[in-house]
Every structure is written in C-alpha cells, then in structure tokens.
Amino acid sequence: MREGAALLQGLAVCGHCGRRLAVHYSGRFAAPGYHCAGKNIVNGRGEYCLNIGGVQIDAAVAEAFLAALAPAGLEASLQAIEQFDADHETTLAQFRRDVERARYNAQRAERRYRAVDPGE
C-alpha cells in the first residue's frame, strides 16, 4: 500500500526545463517523490534533471492550500452558524406559538367540558 498519493501529480513542472514532473514512490513506506523525466549526463551517467522527495513539498503545499482556503472556509462557517441561529429563533418562535395555541385550546376544552359535566 502506498502511504498516500502525491498531491502534485500532474500539476508540478520542472523548474529547470519545464517538463511535467513524474511521480514515483520509493522506500519502505513508498514515500512520494517527484522527478523530471529529462536526463542530464552527469559524470558519464544519466541523471534525472530533477529528483526530489515529495513528502515535505506535499506538506508545504497542503499547508499553503489550507491557509489560502481558511478565510473563505471560516466565512462560510460563520454564515452557516448565523443562518442556523436565525432558523433556530424562527423555529423556536413557531414552537412557542404552537404551544401557546395548544394550551389555549386545552383550557377552552377543559372549560367546555366542565360546563357540561353533570357531576359539577
């Protein structure tokens, strides 16, 4: 099982050559990493143009993403709470009217009942 999918899969591009970065998973915990498929010959060997571990980058991206999202999320939450409070008040007021009407009806029924009660 992979520890988690790389966040930037299909999104990140190489800062050196502009190629889209490929994702690989390496190590015992299949840590995600990104590499550029472009190869440079270094010391007679072909090496990836760019090859970086993805865990810290993904964490940083997630953090930045959440930070960017937070104000909007907070505002939406506050609106939801305000809406809930408004609905709650409306519901409570309606409930109180229902209770008041039920009590009135019950009292009237009781008076009517007592009025015709032959035992009275």
List contacts with Zn ion (CB under 5 A): 14, 16-17, 19, 36, 38, 49-50
Residues 6 or more apart whose Cβ sits within 8 Å of residue 29: 3
When the beta carbons of 43 and 72 are compared against Zn ion, the nearer one is: 43
State the minimum distance, in angstroms, from the CB of residue 13 to Zn ion.
Answer: 8
- Residue 17 or 30 having the CB closest to Zn ion: 17
Q: Is the dihedral of CA 112, 113, 119, 120 positive or negative?
A: negative
- 17 neighbors 38 (Cβ within 8 angstroms): yes
Strands 45-48 and 39-42: antiparallel
* C-beta closer to Zn ion: residue 4 or 8: 8
Residue 17 CB, nearest approach to Zn ion (Å)? 3
